[in-house]
Chains A and B, each alone.
Chain A
């Protein structure tokens, strides 16, 4: 015998109400909120104005520059008065002999940094989280944070010193092991891995901060219950720790995907050379040479706009995929 169907109203959301003349509309609710909280809005107003004038305003101007051919000496008036050239600057970039090379280099280097650089702080955070000795934990954290504070110029100098054939540490080890010294920085087979390795070394420590903070908020009772159920530390990590920090992982992954077109301009500019252009010249270094150094600001802006649009598309896709699989997105 089947049970009678339960009326929806008993268990599910309330029945939709018919709108009456006295129910507040969305706009009247907004007006009421403004009137009630007016000084909070006024407090926020200067900050909002700052972002409108100094952040969003330049974006609008920047978009205009991309569709014009301005001279760097015309100033603001040039931005307004110069005629539009349509998509000429974009076409110039797309028609470039090296367009596919710089685009593929950008995506490949970013993907490699993502593949190796994204899991690294998670793994390190999980390992640090398992350490019981507080002093040792703090020491490891402090040491791992330090490279983050070094400027890229210093890091590049360190990399060159370590890899040089004239007494560099790596080549000394190679020679000691019976090999021949090798100029790794000018070898296309090694250059991308040098970029990835340097980035991981510099960012792995700092990247653990958010994950460790998320892990600190995990209810210890979950671990106690798992121990009672006979779970070992690996199982606890897999079934409790990782799922608990998954929202942080997904959010940061979405941001990283949106950042896929920023492959590390400063790092590459300091380390690359003609020998390795084919594997290291990215959109930003290309624009630096052929746009900024030649004072072709309209062209440089157009390429920047292209990058921004592409990044936005990537973020939207990543966010949609994340929500599709039931995870929290950015919005």
Chain B
């Protein structure tokens, strides 16, 4: 008996049968691999009618959170597409990305893929410069409504030193993102006015703890805590600043007064005012759960915890309500720093087959409020109707088969002030944006508010950038929680030097001066 064969004889039929099975298995492997990669357009989009002669515009929907995460009902999607096609002369097709980091990964794969179409997506223009095209000419020829919608200051945020406009401003300078919120019902019960100074704030917190001994301060994360409070201790707030001694741009941590802020936060922590998990893994769900305990007397951080999640947050405890302490000041003035996120943009890809059509598609949404609302909520008269010139009645909000918003491509601070849902639970977020986005007098202006740094260039020049970020985050947290004594603050500054602080200073100063020089004439 020969090993490996037993007593069976190999027949031609047997071989052919085995080969067929093997070929089938082999053919299934690439299919299996392909099916593991999420498919691009939504299921609903695959059922869209033929575009005819209209140019197709492929849009990656990462500008807004869809009202229906899995995408629209196919018929609703087609109905909205028809309206947009009739108005803009284009046939949009939207990708619904997977949530979280998987979505970003998929976007990058799509951008790098030769086979997949993509015309429009949102992101930071400095990160995606190699994948997108300047839109100066496109704006002039096909995007006049887009051009007029934003101020020169907002356009400056998406323009490089050579004058190339890399995208449509998505955010820009914002006055509404950070605040110190206090329990309004507790203030009323204690007959305390909304604090206007740091001392009044501390007195209110003490009073809260007498009313509810386990009440605490919840901060959404360290970054938001800094944006909301550092301004009260430093001249420039939590901002890069120009040191007058050597005319170089330096990180906020080197400002005079920053150490005093750390000391005050440490004092609050040692008193037990902070929720101990404030500096652990942050997240919206975690914050919402803490709110629902009814023991958060003060919330310092990102506004949408209160606005978007108002229903989840405030419904847990009857009468619970939070209001912001706008314009609250510390020893060095306004505590809040306005938020400059200049690089966020809606961009047109380099590989777009018809960038003019892509711009016309976007421009249509800026031409009239109704167009933007249609792209966001669906067909007027069927899915929504105006209550007045701002509030929108959502006619199908409780309908499970709705249009989810895939085609909306006008996300920006401007359009977000155009309309709001009339529903009391949903309107608070939009009203907040409308009322406070441009309330710059409630916070300190960042020194380099109009300088859109190209962070990809900075990363090339500062190899230790991630190390510096970690060092600052980690050590600041340790100083606040008392794990590291404040006496070691100078040693911390020396650590920053060892980690490459001078490279950081050189890189940021170079770009700052370049922008100053480029804009001197304007």
Contacts and interface: CB of A to CB of B under 8 A. Distances in A.
A72 B112 contact: yes
Given A39-B18, A45-B22, A98-B467, A185 B277 contact: yes
A188 B481 CA distance: 12
Interface string B127-138: 110110000000
A39 B473 CA distance: 62
A296 B459 contact: yes
Most chain A beta carbons < 10 A, residue from B19, B25, B113, B474: B474
Given A186-B481, A275-B279, A39 B15 contact: yes
Interface string A257-289: 000000000000011111101100100001001
Contacts of B29: 46, 50, 54
Given A39-B10, A73-B131, A185-B277, A95 B25 contact: no
Contacts of B64: none
B276 A186 contact: yes
Contacts of A173: none
Interface string B12-55: 00110011011101100110010000000000000000000000
Contacts of B295: 166
B463 A97 contact: no
A75 interface: yes
A278 B5 contact: no
A71 B130 contact: yes
A219 interface: no
Interface string A235-277: 0000000000000000000000000000000000011111101
B452 to A, nearest CB: 18
B463 A165 contact: no
A188 B113 CA distance: 43
Interface string B344-383: 0000000000000000000000000000000000000000
B252 interface: no
A107 to B, nearest CB: 19
Contacts of B15: 39, 42
Nearest to A161: B289
Contact of A72 (B2, B111, B478): B111
B87 to A, nearest CB: 32
Contacts of B14: 39
B114 A75 contact: yes
B499 interface: yes
A294 interface: yes
B222 A46 contact: no
Contacts of B222: 274
Contacts of A186: 276-277, 279-280, 481
Given A96-B467, A275-B481, A183 B277 contact: yes
B22 A46 contact: yes
A294 B466 contact: yes
A179 interface: no
A5 interface: no
B319 to A, nearest CB: 21
B5 A37 contact: yes
B108 interface: yes
A289 B25 contact: no
Given A39-B18, A46-B23, A97 B281 contact: no
B308 to A, nearest CB: 21
A185 B112 CA distance: 39
Contact of B275 (A43, A54, A75, A166): A166
Interface in A286-301: 286, 289-290, 294-296
Contacts of A166: 275, 277, 290, 293, 295
B22 A42 contact: yes
Contacts of B127: 295
A119 interface: no
Contacts of A36: 2, 5
A164 B459 contact: no
B197 interface: no
Given A37-B4, A72-B111, A274 B499 contact: no
Contacts of A160: 280-281, 286
A278 B474 contact: yes
A138 interface: no
A273 B18 contact: no
Q: What range describes how many residues of B lie at the interface?
A: 35 or more
Contacts of A182: 276
A73 B108 contact: yes
Interface string A176-210: 00000111011010000000000000000000000
Contacts of B471: 97
B255 to A, nearest CB: 20
Given A42-B22, A274-B222, A97 B33 contact: no
B277 A98 contact: no
A164 B19 CA distance: 59
A104 to B, nearest CB: 15
B264 interface: no
A73 B118 CA distance: 13
B483 interface: yes
Given A50-B26, A73-B112, A75-B113, A274 B477 contact: yes
A251 B97 CA distance: 43
Interface string B91-130: 0000000000000000010011110000000000001101
Interface in B453-484: 459, 463-467, 469-471, 473-474, 476-478, 481, 483
A275 B477 contact: yes
Nearest to B476: A274
A294 B465 CA distance: 11
A97 B467 contact: yes
Given A97-B499, A275-B483, A183 B280 contact: yes
Contact of A289 (B279, B464, B470): B470
A130 interface: no
A271 B276 contact: no
Contacts of A43: 18-19, 21-22
B498 A97 contact: yes
B280 A74 contact: no
Contact of B474 (A96, A164, A183, A274): A274
Nearest to A281: B470
B281 A271 contact: yes
Interface in B281-318: 281-282, 286, 290, 293, 295
B74 interface: no
Among B18, B112, B222: residue with most chain A CB under 10 A: B112
A50 B27 CA distance: 10
B196 to A, nearest CB: 30
Interface in A111-141: none
7 contacts: A47-B26, A54-B29, A160-B286, A165-B277, A186-B279, A289-B466, A289-B470
**4 tightest A-B CB contacts, nearest first:** A46-B26, A290-B466, A183-B276, A97-B467
Interface of A: 36-37, 39-40, 42-43, 45-47, 49-50, 54, 71-75, 92, 95-98, 160, 164-167, 181-183, 185-186, 188, 270-275, 277-278, 281, 286, 289-290, 294-296
